[in-house]
Amino acid sequence: MLLAIDVGNTNTKFAVFDGAAWRGQWRTSTAASRTADEYGPWLAHLLALSDLSLANLNACIISTVVPQALFNLRNLSRRYVGVEPMVIGEDGLNLGIAVRIDKPSEAGADRLVNAVGAFVTYGGPAIVVDSGTATTFDIVGADGAFEGGVILPGINLSLQALHEAAARLPRVEIKDPGMVIGKDTVGAMQAGVYWGSIDMIEGLISRIKKEYGAPMKTIATGGVASLFEGAFPAIDHFDQDITSRGLLEIFRRNGGAL
């Protein structure tokens, strides 16, 4: 079975694929200092809840935007899975897509993996909206190439900045407040963040499509995307498994077998 690990700035996702289906997917907070021996028992316990064990794992692939986390996760794979992991971005690993931006080396591992996952699932051209620490809009070409995109602060980061920079603004829950005009400070903040995010996403999708000049599918993923599901028509698909599918496809493209 394949252990696919996706390390984001805020959360790290572990997913297990048995060759036919995903058997389990779990998230933990990203902590670069967490050791392999801390990850090992945690992962063993979660696997057991799905009637699996570490002994079932025989392959590993890792994507990370936090370089400091790689050392411990590589050791997790070596020590507890018994294999050398494939690592997105390392020499010799073929993603199977063209990277059509001015500085290909600057493309984030997560964005490239999302492009692969979106293309094998939905085809192209496509826009992948990934809502996490940052909100990214990644452009996938008709042939699956990564063609650039947009990066801006994520919704939680925006709320944190408001709270930290303005002494009288509290931390608030992200949710649909039911109206645009807030009747108190919390309601006004929730309306601003929720509807502001929706209008921002809709507006950027519209601008991207106009500039691209061809019909494009839109796919939303990431930890915050579910907050907006059904709220507006600009998104064609809400799919939390895009990154895991991308990792699986790259594993296969590099001769990985289960």
Q: How far is CA 177 from CA 163, 180, 181, in A?
A: 18, 7, 9
**Which pairs count as long-range contacts for 45-51, CB under 8 Å and 24+ apart, including other chains?**
46/14, 47/16, 49/24, 50/16, 50/23, 50/24
Note if 143 is an active site residue: no
Query: Residue 229 corresponds to which tokens in the numbers above?
Result: 């599901």
The one-character DSSP state at 121 is H
Other C-beta atoms within 10 Å of 187: how many?
Answer: 16
E strands in the chain: 2-7, 11-17, 22-29, 59-64, 86-87, 126-131, 134-140, 146-153, 217-221, 237-238
Catalytic member of 6, 110, 138, 239: 110
Helix 109-122, helix 242-253: angle, nearest 10: 90
Secondary element (H or E) of residue 2: strand 2-7
DSSP label at 54?
A: G
Catalytic residues: 110
